């Protein structure tokens, strides 16, 4: 194991351990979760929980206020109540939960705020020159301040992968600290873009830097790079969170994003979180899915559990 050191705003050195990761072991351990099976009432609970942890997202150049409003309507009402409530009442099940948050570009935050007023659904905004992270720090700070001042309750920032891969860990640390300061009380998710980091060792180190710098969550990906979230890379990050919690007592959240499309995959992630971090992390406050496509499959599976048959996919709105 090697160590790196960065300097905080007070001029004190922070020593960060760069743990070597057993890649074969991580892959084998992650593969174990693909063989887990959850059925009956436990499956329904897992489907409800996973839905409540989803961040509905639209991050396209073609985004319009209308598109954001449509997505927010789905966030508030994943399916029209009249379609499912009779079946839920018959089985004495609770209502289908809303998603945890929507995620949009800063310019779309005001539209999301208006559409979600009074709903309690979070409004996340990407910032810091998403998805590349290639912009001057002041531009990144201004990007963040604009989103926060217009009503964002969560910020999803991207780290400077160029600086990280060049070994300039101080710059990466300083930028996260600066963005956290700009966030104020707004929660900060730090996107590592693991598909560009190249190894589990680097993923672990980037996770440690992000947590030491003040990130409230660490997040795998922007969804714009392949590979995005995978079970092994998420496992590496979860273990980093577990070790950080043991060392500091602080609970850091986790958000795998990109490539999670099915309920079966979501349940595998939930099992992994439960066994790595424990049931305390099985809450939207500490675990999220960045996977809009996942929402429709979760709804499809809930309908199957409630009615005994699958609904036509296009019954649900297409994002």
Give per-residue pLDDT as tens, 107-164: 999 999 999 999 999 999 999 999 999 999 999 999 999 999 999 999 999 999 999 9
Residue 95, SS3 per DSSP: coil
The answer to whether 147 and 125 are in contact (CB under 8 A) is yes
pLDDT at 291: 82
Query: Of residues 74, 140, 219, 300, which has the active-site annotation?
Result: 219
pLDDT at 36: 81
Q: How far apart are CA 215 and CA 158, in angstroms?
A: 11
Q: How far is CA 38 from the centre of its chain?
A: 23
Mean pLDDT to the nearest integer, 39-48: 86
Tokens of 117: 């007023």
Give per-residue pLDDT as tens, 254-301: 999 999 999 999 999 999 999 999 999 999 999 999 988 899 999 999
- Domain segments of the chain: what residues? 2-306
Mean per-residue pLDDT over the chain, rounded: 93
Q: Pick the residue with more confidence: 83 or 58?
A: 58
Concerning whether 219 is annotated as a catalytic residue, the answer is yes
Residue 105, SS3 per DSSP: coil
Query: Whole-model pTM?
Result: 0.95
Query: Of residues 74, 180, 189, 255, which has the active-site annotation?
Result: 255
Residue 141, SS3 per DSSP: helix
Q: Which residue has the tokens 């099992």?
A: 271
pLDDT at 318: 57
Query: Of residues 143, 156, 216, 297, which has the active-site annotation?
Result: 156
The strand pair at 2-7 and 13-18 is best described as antiparallel
Q: How confident is the model at residue 317 (pLDDT cuts 50, 70, 90)?
A: low
Concerning whether 185 is annotated as a catalytic residue, the answer is no
Q: How far is CA 153 from the centre of its chain?
A: 14
pLDDT at 315: 62
Q: How confident is the model at residue 319 (pLDDT cuts 50, 70, 90)?
A: low
Residue 313, preceding bond cis, omega within 30 degrees? no
Concerning whether 297 is annotated as a catalytic residue, the answer is no
CATH superfamily of 2-306: Aldolase class I (3.20.20.70)
């Amino acid at each position: 194991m090697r160590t790196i050191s960065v300097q905080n705003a007070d001029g004190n050195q922070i020593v960060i351990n760069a743990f070597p990761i057993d890649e074969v072991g991580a892959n084998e351990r992650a593969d174990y979760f693909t063989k887990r099976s959850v059925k009956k009432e436990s499956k329904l609970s897992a489907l409800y929980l996973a839905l409540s942890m989803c961040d509905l997202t639209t991050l396209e150049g073609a985004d319009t206020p209308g598109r954001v409003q449509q997505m927010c309507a789905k966030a508030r009402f994943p399916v029209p109540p009249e379609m499912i409530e009779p079946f839920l009442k018959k089985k004495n099940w609770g209502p289908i939960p809303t998603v945890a948050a929507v995620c949009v570009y800063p310019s779309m935050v005001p539209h999301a705020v208006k559409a979600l007023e009074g709903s309690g659904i979070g409004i996340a905004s990407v910032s810091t020159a998403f998805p590349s992270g290639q912009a001057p720090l002041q531009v990144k700070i201004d990007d963040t301040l604009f989103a926060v001042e217009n009503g964002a309750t969560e910020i999803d920032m991207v780290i400077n992968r160029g600086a990280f891969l060049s070994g300039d860990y101080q710059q990466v640390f300083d930028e996260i600290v600066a963005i956290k300061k700009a966030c104020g009380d707004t929660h900060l998710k730090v996107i590592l873009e693991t598909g560009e980091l190249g190894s589990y060792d680097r993923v672990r180190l980037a996770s440690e830097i992000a947590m030491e710098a003040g990130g409230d969550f660490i997040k795998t990906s922007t969804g714009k790079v392949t590979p995005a979230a995978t079970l092994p890379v998420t496992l590496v990050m979860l273990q980093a969170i577990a070790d950080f919690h043991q060392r500091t007592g602080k609970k850091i959240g986790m958000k795998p994003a990109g490539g999670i499309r099915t309920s079966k995959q979501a349940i595998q992630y939930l099992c992994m979180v439960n066994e790595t971090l424990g049931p305390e992390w099985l809450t939207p406050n500490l675990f999220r899915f960045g996977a809009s496509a996942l929402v429709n499959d979760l709804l499809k599976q809930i309908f199957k559990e409630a009615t005994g048959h699958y609904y036509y996919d296009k019954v649900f709105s297409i994002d």
